[in-house]
Amino acid sequence: MNQKFHLLTTFFLLILTSQIYGQLTHLQTQKIDSLFIGWNIPNHPGGSIAVMQEGKTVFSKAYGLASLEYLTPNSTETLFNIGSNSKQFTAMAIVLLNERNKLSFDDDIRTYIPEFPNFGKIITIQHLLHHTSGLRDVHGLLGLAGWRNDDVMSNDDLTRVILKQNNLNFKPGEEVLYCNTGYMLLVNIIEKVTGEKFKYWLKENIFDKLDMNHTYVEDQYDRVVPNYATSYGGNSNFNRKIAYWNYVGSGNMHSTTGDLLKWLKNFSTPKKNWESAFATLLTMTPLNNGTPTIFGFGVRIENHLGKKIIQHGGAIGGFRSIIRTYPEDKLSIVVLSNFTGSNIMSKTNKLAELMYPIKEKITPQKQIQPTKKPKKFIKLSTKKLAKFEGIYWDTKEKYGRKIYVKNDTLRYSRSATSESLLVPIKKNKFYMLHVGIDVTVEFVHKGNLKQMVVLVAGELPIVFDLHETIKKSRTKELAEYPGKYYSSEIETGYTITIEGTDIYIHHIRHGKIKLKRVYQDILEGEWPINMVEIKRSSKGIIQGLQITNGRVRNLWFKKML
Residue pLDDT, tens place only, 455-492: 998 788 999 999 866 666 777 888 999 999 999 999 99
Q: How far is CA 4 from the centre of its chain?
A: 43
Same domain? 267 vs 357: yes
pLDDT tens-digit map of 98-147: 999 999 999 999 999 999 999 999 999 999 999 999 999 999 999 999 99
Query: Are 8 and 43 spatial neighbours (Cβ–Cβ below 8 Å)?
Result: no
The CATH number linked to 429 is 2.40.128
Residue 225, domain member (yes or no): yes
Number of domains in the chain: 3
Residue 27, domain member (yes or no): yes
Kindly tell me if the per-residue pLDDT of 401 is higher than 90.
yes
Contacts of 292 (CB under 8 A, 6+ apart): 284, 286
Average pLDDT over residues 410-418: 94
Query: Are 244 and 149 spatial neighbours (Cβ–Cβ below 8 Å)?
Result: yes
> What confidence score (pLDDT) does residue 154 get?
94
Residue 103, domain member (yes or no): no
Same domain? 11 vs 54: yes
Same domain? 29 vs 71: yes
Same domain? 418 vs 513: no
Share of the chain above pLDDT 70, in %: 92
Same domain? 314 vs 459: no
The CATH number linked to 320 is 3.40.710.10
Q: Which helix (H) or strand (E) holds 8?
A: helix 2-16
Distance of alpha carbon 232 from alpha carbon 252, whole angstroms: 16
- In this prediction the pTM is 0.90
Give Cα separations from 249 to 98, 186, 436 (angstroms): 17, 7, 43
| Domain of 443, in residue numbers | 382-466
Confidence tier at 36 by pLDDT (50, 70, 90): very high
> What confidence score (pLDDT) does residue 470 get?
60
Kindly tell me if the per-residue pLDDT of 85 is higher than 90.
yes
Kindly tell me if the per-residue pLDDT of 360 is higher than 80.
no
Same domain? 514 vs 423: no
Same domain? 227 vs 355: yes
Q: How far is CA 487 from the centre of its chain?
A: 25
Average pLDDT over residues 230-237: 94
pLDDT tens-digit map of 239-280: 999 888 899 999 999 999 999 999 999 999 999 999 999 999
By CB neighbour count within 10 A (0-12 exposed, 13-18 middle, 19+ buried), where does 483 fall?
A: middle
Kindly tell me if the per-residue pLDDT of 317 is higher than 50.
yes
Same domain? 322 vs 391: no
Q: Which helix (H) or strand (E) holds 239?
A: strand 239-240
Structural domain ending residue among the three candidates 366, 391, 422? 366
Structural domain ending residue among the three candidates 466, 497, 523? 466
Same domain? 338 vs 388: no
Same domain? 239 vs 362: yes
Distance of alpha carbon 422 from alpha carbon 453, whole angstroms: 13
The CATH number linked to 480 is 2.40.128.50
Same domain? 410 vs 345: no
Average pLDDT over residues 397-401: 93
Structural domain ending residue among the three candidates 366, 400, 417? 366
| Residue among 337, 320, 336, 328 nearest 356 (CA) | 328
Q: Helix H segments across 273-393?
A: 275-280, 344-355, 382-386
Contacts of 311 (CB under 8 A, 6+ apart): 299, 300, 302, 322, 323, 324, 325
